Amino acid sequence: IFQAVDLKYLSMMSLYRKENEIAAASAIKSILNHLWYLSEELVAFSVFYRELAESLRKALVEKLLSIPRPKRFLPGKPKFPKTGPNDSVEYSDQFIRFKGPNSWLLFDLLKMNEEQLDWMQAPVSC
């Protein structure tokens, strides 16, 4: 899942600023132009990405479960994240912050009710 890879890269580039500010700024500017897949709707897929650390996947599920599930979803364009070149980037925190009410859309489209989401309570390593 590119979200995780790109956010990790963005985090690394923020650290690289200490070594080469011009190169890091250029890389950060480029990646900030391509964050459309970090919308609430698409970040929902990240819970299925096995290469993410179990602790991060668990935190993503916990964050989703802490957000009330909307009764309905309004049609429209997704809202893209607001992240600037000078924002501090902490990989795992950054990833979790993109979850929101529209992250439930995937499960709504799959017609999964509350009982069908019991697997979210199971340990991530299962």
* Top-confidence residue, 94 or 96: 96
Buried/exposed 63-80: b ≥16 CB within 10 Å, e otherwise: bbeeeeeeeeeeeeeeee
Mean pLDDT confidence for 111-115: 86
Per-residue pLDDT, 92: 57
* 45-95 tens-digit pLDDT: 888 888 878 888 888 888 999 999 999 999 988 887 766 655 555 555 666
Q: What is the pTM of this model?
A: 0.70
Q: Is the pLDDT of residue 1 over 60?
A: no
9: nearest Cα among 28, 33, 25: 28
